[in-house]
């Protein structure tokens, strides 16, 4: 019997950020609930305690520190990772003193957030998620094994290349804008005037070519990229 995926409660008043975090965490094998304010966070935890909470500091009603403090005062021991746009030492200390287990400054990379969540879950003795294997023809992405193959041949991808390919395969046939790929792979607030997506797509194409694959990652001029399996 397969263990249930660990559940993360994402608390942020920005719907776009909630959507990005939900998509990114689901790709990594987590179950996800989202709410948009502090009151909703308290109610969601009271209804069903998640395995971890990703909590924005700047909420419109109760700020994240107040939510954190109330959860701890009520005896909730769930690991909490707080997010903040401020990188001041006093802010980090205040968040940790309120009961947070870790603190991540915006903008952040999704892989760092996932790594920190995994570390918190390990520390709490919770089960870690196993992301499902993804297939597109002869292309197989194994997030759990951190590898991708074409027709059984390991592509030798770096962690970031694997993340990019994972998102493309998960959205096979869907044209993804460069800005969307920046959100999903590099973090929602990555500097948008960079050509980093094009550079990493070129890395992927070269490694797929070396494995004997046909062109599967296509450029849609003026828009972005799409993975199509012939």
Q: For the chain (length 230 residues), average pLDDT per consecutive 10?
A: 76 91 88 94 95 92 90 93 76 76 84 85 73 87 88 92 90 88 66 77 96 95 91
Work out the angle between the directed axes of helices 64-73 and 38-47 (0-180°, nearest 10): 30
Tell me the C-alpha distance between 230 and 227, whole Å. Answer: 10
pLDDT at 1: 34
Q: Is 163:110 a contact under the CB 8 Å cutoff? A: yes
Q: Is 111:162 a contact under the CB 8 Å cutoff? A: no
CATH match for 7-124 among 2.70.98.10, 3.30.870.10, 3.40.50.2300, 3.90.400.10 = 3.40.50.2300
Residue pointed to by tokens 């903040």: 84
pLDDT at 2: 43
Tell me the C-alpha distance between 225 and 176, whole Å. Answer: 5
pLDDT at 66: 92
pLDDT at 220: 95
Number of neighbouring beta carbons within 10 Å of residue 149: 17
H helices of 12-63, where? 15-27, 38-47
* Extended strands (E) in the chain: 7-11, 31-35, 52-56, 80-84, 102-105, 134-136, 139-142, 147-150, 153-154, 176-177, 217-220, 224-227
Tokens standing for residue 193:
């005037």
Angle in degrees, CA 117, 165, 169, rounded to 5: 100
pLDDT at 189: 45
pLDDT at 190: 45
What is the maximum alpha-carbon separation in the chain?
58
The domain segmentation of the chain, as residue ranges, is 7-124, 134-227
| DSSP structure string for 75-112 | T----EEEEES---HHHHHHHHHTT-SEEEESS--HHH
Q: pTM for this structure?
A: 0.60
Dihedral (Cα; 97, 102, 104, 109), 10-degree rounding: 180
Phi, psi (degrees; rounded to nearest 5) at 61: -110, -85
Q: What is the CATH number of domain 134-227?
A: 1.10.10.10
Strand partners, 39: none
């Amino acid at each position: 019997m397969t263990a249930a995926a660990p559940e993360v409660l994402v608390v942020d008043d920005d719907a776009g950020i909630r959507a990005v975090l939900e998509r990114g965490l689901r790709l990594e094998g987590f179950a996800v609930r989202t709410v948009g304010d502090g009151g909703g966070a308290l109610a969601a935890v009271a209804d069903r305690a998640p395995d971890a909470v990703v909590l924005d500091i700047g909420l419109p009603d109760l700020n994240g520190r107040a939510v954190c403090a109330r959860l701890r005062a009520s005896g909730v021991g769930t690991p909490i990772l707080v997010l903040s746009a401020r990188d001041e030492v006093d802010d980090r200390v205040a968040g940790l003193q309120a009961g947070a287990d870790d603190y991540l400054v915006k903008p952040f990379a999704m892989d760092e957030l996932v790594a920190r969540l995994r570390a918190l879950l390990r520390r709490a003795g919770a089960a870690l998620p196993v992301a499902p294997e993804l297939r597109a023809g002869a292309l197989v992405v194994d997030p759990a094994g951190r590898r991708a193959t074409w027709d059984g041949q390991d592509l030798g991808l770096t962690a970031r290349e694997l993340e990019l390919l994972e998102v493309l395969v998960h959205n096979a046939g869907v044209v993804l804008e460069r800005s969307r790929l920046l959100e999903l792979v590099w973090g929602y607030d990555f500097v948008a005037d960079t050509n980093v997506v094009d550079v990493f797509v070129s890395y992927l194409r070269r490694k797929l070519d070396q494995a004997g694959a046909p062109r599967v990652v296509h450029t849609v001029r003026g828009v972005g990229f799409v993975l199509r399996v012939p």
